[in-house]
Structures are given as structure tokens and as C-alpha cells.
Structure 1
Amino acid sequence: MADRSSADSGRADGAAHAQAGPEEDGTAPPAEYRTAELARAAGITVRTLRFYRERRLLPPPRREGRIAWYNEHHLNRLRTISALLSRGHTLGGIADLIDAFEKGRDAGGAAELLGLESTLVSPWSEETPVRLTPEDLAAHFPDEVTSENLAAALDLGYVAVDGDEVVHVSRRLLDASTALVGEGIPLEAVLEAGRVVREHADAVADLFTNLVRARLFTDVRELSPEDLRRLSEVMDRLRPLAKQVVDVELALAMDRRVRAELESWSRPDGPEEEAGAERQERRGPDGGPGGPDGEPQGRGD
């Protein structure tokens, strides 16, 4: 027993391992992960993983002595949690959905939303949630953490309050918001811009999903296991293509917009110059007020 424990504790953290022994059907045994390995595979921190486990968002791991072993089911659950967080769900809401699914309450709807039984478990987003104390949040946004801004961030799904801490849905969004506020843009304006971007992003997502459904699954009314496998393969291929199209179109749009802005600033007949010329036309030669047609008003002689 001592040799087994020593071997397990000395096992490298770099990759998941397979359970000893072949499966009955001769296939390779399922992979298992230690805590650090699972967190790395899911794109989250060990601290976040332990927090999810404390909140009972994950099933208990298999234990071998003092070592906890996780499997692909745990990895898919973590990816599903990240996907739901990116869609604006709170951790409390996700916990309720998981509880409903596991206890059979509205199991069909919960399973559909959670994707726990779907082959489409790989989320498009690769975001890492960030836990922040009130002091951390104030450090990111000095003098900007107002009740109005916090309410707007909650409404957007950027943050969720958990006890005395705030969980931000995305490290990258947090960094981008912090940088924009650091440039001098008020947090209120950043959040409003985020709301508008969310609306446009939803429209783009609708466009791509409708394109797939209308063109590639025209006659499909109910997805069979084979349809699910095919859809999963299609979405895997579509993921980089959709991101590429959006990235290129946004870059081209920014080029067009920046050029237009620069041209409007450099025109001699820009808005300010036109307004100044109009004001001058309404004055007489001596600088006095002009008449209705721009002519000097007489004294009645």
C-alpha cells in the first residue's frame, strides 16, 4: 500500500492518466485528471475549481487515498459552467439547474440548457471567471464602483455576487474594461457599449446558427444521435471560420470608420466651420446684426 500511494503522489502533473486495466470491450480506459490537471484542461484556476466543488457544482471525484481523481464528465461539466456564465447565468442559477437535472425536476429542459447529455459540450468561449473582493473591484475601477454601475454589470451578466465577493464572468472582459476605464472612458459608458456589443454579437450568432440550420439541416425536425454527431462536427469546423469572419469584418469596419472620422476632422468645411460661416452671414458689414436675408438692418432712414 505504501508503494502504491508513493507512486500516485509522485505521478507527474503534466497530463491526465488512464485507469489501470483495459475495458471489457477492449477499448482504452477513460482518462482521469488530478485537481491541477483538470483545472488546466478546463481553462480555470485550481482555486475556482475548488470553489465550484464547494458549491456542489461538480459531482464528487473518485478518491484513492488522499488523491482526488476526476474524469471527462467533470471536465464537460466545467466547460458547461463556463459556457453558461458567458451567457449571463449566475452561479446560483446554474446550481439550481444542475440540482433540477440531477433530481429529475424538469429534467428535459434542464438537460437541454445545461447540455449535460449533449454531444455539443465544447463551448465556443474560453473564458476564465475571476473572483474579486470589493477592494479588488475598487482597484480595477477607482471611484467608478457605484450602485448604478454594479446593477448594470449584474444585468449584463458580467458579474455575479457571491457572499462578500464578486465573480466576473471573464478575465479578458475584465482586463479590457479596466484598460478602457484607464484610458479615461467612464465605466458607465463602457458598460453601455458592452450592452450594445452584446446585442450585435447575439445577432451574429443568430445569423450563423440559422445559416447552419437552414442550409445543412433543412429537413431535420428532431435530432437523432447521428444528426447530433454530424452537428457537433459541423460546429467544430464552423467555430474558427465564424471567429475569422467576425474578426476580419470588424477590422475592415474599424478601418472605414477611422478614415471617415479623420476626413471629417480635416475638412475645412466641417460642421464647426459651416456653423461659423452661417453666423457671419447673419451679421452686417459693421459686425452688427443682419436682417432676415443677411442684409444690415437700417435705422429707418
Structure 2
Amino acid sequence: MKELADAAGITVRTVRFYRERGLIPPPRREGRIAWYDAHHLARLRTIAALLERGHTLNGIADLATAFESGRDVGEVLGLGEPTEETPVRLTPADLADHFEGEVTAENLATALELGYLATDGDDLVHISRRLLDVSAALVREGVPLAAVFDAARQVRAHADALAELFATTLQTHAGATDPGTLRPLAKSVVEAELSMALDRRLRKGC
């Protein structure tokens, strides 16, 4: 424990306190010897970074609970499925920087539930660089992250319906199931229709 504390730049007493609060997992034991590893050190550094960003220990404990209940990256991203999205690896502290003041246990749990975030060891993986950047931009504009998630649920429902429509139409009438055919056609139609819908909305006044 002393070696771990020295590496993290904290006291043994603090390490023991974090263990008692459940902020770090118990060590691996061999007889009377307790072994700590890189996972424990990473967790301590994450706690320090979150404390520097204004999170409380209670809040960090809630975040850790939500984090550990999330699905892992393989389950969320799938294996070998076609995608144009670029995943982004983040530490919890990185996430706090992207969404300052909005990284709560509830929001983290929602992001994990929606599949926007997945866990990979001590890190998080966001499924899409584009969605991460847009979500962060909306929060910077003053939109609460919970409201972003509410809108995302509705967008996803419509997007799923559109994907089903295009896939069924192409398969029924053209026998096409190749994503290389479906994706560009569907994207062009949706982008054009959305652009025109925004034009109509702006003409009416926001």
C-alpha cells in the first residue's frame, strides 16, 4: 500500500480511506500480502483529476458505480460490423473536461445505457467522434446534457425507422443489401430533407 501511495503522490491513510469508501477495488491477496497494480494506480490518478475538477468524493463514488455497471466496449461496438464512426478513448477526467459540470452519475449511466459510452478497463470509449463533438458543443451552448440525451433518444428512434425504410425499399425493389449501396443513398436523402426542413423552420422563425 505504501508503494501505491508513493506512486500516486498521496498518503497511505488516504489510500486506506479510498478503499473503505469503495473508490478503489480491493487488492489481490496472497496469504498476508496485498498486491496493488496499475489498475489501482490509474483509479487513484482518476480520483485526483476529478477532485481537481470540483467533483466530491460522494460524486466520484456514484460515478464509479455507474462506470462499473456499464457494458464493455466489445459488447457496444460489436465485432466486424461496418461503421463510418470513429470511436474515441477517454479517461473519466477527459470526459469531465468535455462536459464541464455535467458529468454526473445519472448522466454517465444514461450514456452507458444508450450505448454512447462503453467501458474498457479504466477507460471509457465513446462510439462516435462526431457525436462526442456535437454533444460537447451543445453543452457549451447551454443545453443540459440530460436534454441532449432526451433529444438523442428521439433522433435514434427516427433514424432507426429511416434505416429500416431504406433497407426494405432497396431490398424489395433492387435486391440490394450491400451497405456500400445503402449508406450513401440514404445519407443523401436524409441530409437533403433535413436541410430543407431546417430552411422551412427558419423561415417560420425559431
Structure 1: distance between partners of 2:170 and 2:203: 35
In the other structure, the counterpart of 1:93 is 75
What secondary structure sits across from 1:204 in the alignment? Answer: helix
In the other structure, the counterpart of 1:213 is 171
What secondary structure sits across from 2:205 in the alignment? Answer: helix
The letter for the 2-side match of 1:153 is A
Question: Any stretches of 5+ residues in structure 1 without a counterpart?
Answer: 1-88, 98-113, 218-229, 263-301
Q: How many residues align?
A: 136
Larger radius of gyration: 1
User: Larger helix proportion, structure 1 or 2?
Assistant: 2
Per the normalisation by structure 2, the TM-score is 0.60
Which of the numbers 153, 175, 193 marks the counterpart of 2:133? 175
Which of the numbers 255, 259, 266 marks the counterpart of 2:203? 259
**Deviation per residue, 1:19-52 (Å, 9 max, x gap):** xxxxxxxxxxxxxxxxxxxxxxxxxxxxxxxxxx
Question: Any stretches of 5+ residues in structure 2 without a counterpart?
Answer: 1-70
The letter for the 2-side match of 1:257 is R
In the other structure, the counterpart of 1:147 is 105
Structure 2: distance between partners of 1:205 and 1:212: 11
Which of the numbers 132, 140, 153 marks the counterpart of 1:195? 153
Per the normalisation by structure 1, the TM-score is 0.42
**Deviation per residue, 1:165-184 (Å, 9 max, x gap):** 11111111111111110111
In the other structure, the counterpart of 2:191 is 247
Matched, 1:134 2:116: no
Deviation for aligned residue 1:261: 3.0
Aligned identity (percent) is 57
Deviation for aligned residue 1:90: 4.3
Greater length-normalized contact order (CA 8 Å, ≥ 6 residues apart):
2
The letter for the 2-side match of 1:240 is P
In the other structure, the counterpart of 1:236 is 180
Which of the numbers 166, 170, 178 marks the counterpart of 2:124? 166
Q: Is contact 1:90-1:157 (8 Å) kept?
A: no
What secondary structure sits across from 1:208 in the alignment? Answer: helix
Q: Is contact 2:76-2:118 (8 Å) kept?
A: no
The letter for the 2-side match of 1:236 is G
What secondary structure sits across from 1:161 in the alignment? Answer: strand
